[in-house]
Amino acid sequence: MTSQDFQLVDAHCHLDFPDFAEERAAVIDRALAAGVTRMVTICTKLKNADSVRAIAEAHDPVFWAAGTHPMSAADEPLASVEDLVALAAHPKMVGIGETGLDYHYTAESKAVQQESLRIHIEAARRTGLPLIIHARDADKDMARILSEEHAAGEYRCMMHCFSSGAGLARAALDLGFYLSMSGIAAFPRSGELREIFEAAPLDRILVETDSPYLAPPPHRGKRNEPAYTAHTAKVGAELFGLSLPDFAAKTSGNFDRLFAKAAAWAPERSEA
């Protein structure tokens, strides 16, 4: 099987990080050669929005999203809804975030994290773009806030790099949200997480790398990159009893449904 037999989307990566500075174009080329035809690179601090946007502008297969990562919420200026809505006017800006809650390392800032999360949710409502959620060791508060806000006004959402418990998975799926598989789902000791994905509807599954982090086997412990989406997708295909091309087609279709702005985008071509 070659990469020409399937087309995958890396729904979440960080191409602006220094890990890729010396070979960003080569990394994108390797992704394309591996069948990963689209990537969403994520801005985690709004002060970096210009550089993240420039990567998307320079490379046709790359889209971008912007927000304030919860681990930075206490150290960065609080984003406003207006800030996020303004960024969303860009034709290749396709998501709001990543935002969310992280109580693993930064529990002391939970109040400002929650405030920031609610701001991002309102921006997702106003723009119609999907919210991109980071959740770690905060399942109860995350489920509560997502549900409260959804009851106040619908919005769409991707649970990025999902590695939380079954309760948060059910809460997210009940709200119509999507779960994204990262390399964690391919780790040998992630059996319980694989069971959560296997129990989820196939039409609510995405795949991602979160590169440069969380490389799946056989690259675990090394720098991750979008090309490695295929390794996680192989695990996903096995969970759902599908061939890799079929799983790639299903998850790409899911991406197009959630990230409709990316699906509708077409590069401008100059006249010959």
Tens digit of pLDDT for each residue in 34-60?
Answer: 999 999 999 999 999 999 999 999 999
Q: Which long-range contacts (CB under 8 A, 24 or more apart) does 24-27 make?
A: 24/55, 25/59, 27/225, 27/226, 27/227
pLDDT digits (tens, 9 = 90+) for 233-266: 999 999 999 999 999 999 999 999 999 999 999 8
Known binding-site residue numbers for a divalent metal cation: 12, 14, 98, 134, 160, 210
Q: Which CATH class is domain 3-264?
A: alpha beta
Quick one: pLDDT at residue 271? 41
The pLDDT tens digits for 1-13 are 455 689 999 999 9
CB 63 within 8 A of CB 258: no
Cis peptide before 218 (omega within 30 of 0): yes
pLDDT per residue as tens digits for the range 95-124: 999 999 999 999 999 999 999 999 999 999
Q: Annotated binding residues, as ranges?
A: 12, 14, 98, 134, 160, 210
Six-digit token string for 240: 């759902």
Task: Check if the beta carbon of residue 11 is closer than 8 Å to that of residue 180.
Answer: yes
Q: If you write DSSP's letter for every residue of 14-56 in order, what string do you get?
A: -TTSGGGTTTHHHHHHHHHHTTEEEEEEEESSGGGHHHHHHHH
| Tens digits of residue pLDDT in 151-179 | 999 999 999 999 999 999 999 999 999 99
Question: Which sequence spans correspond to the domains of the chain?
Answer: 3-264
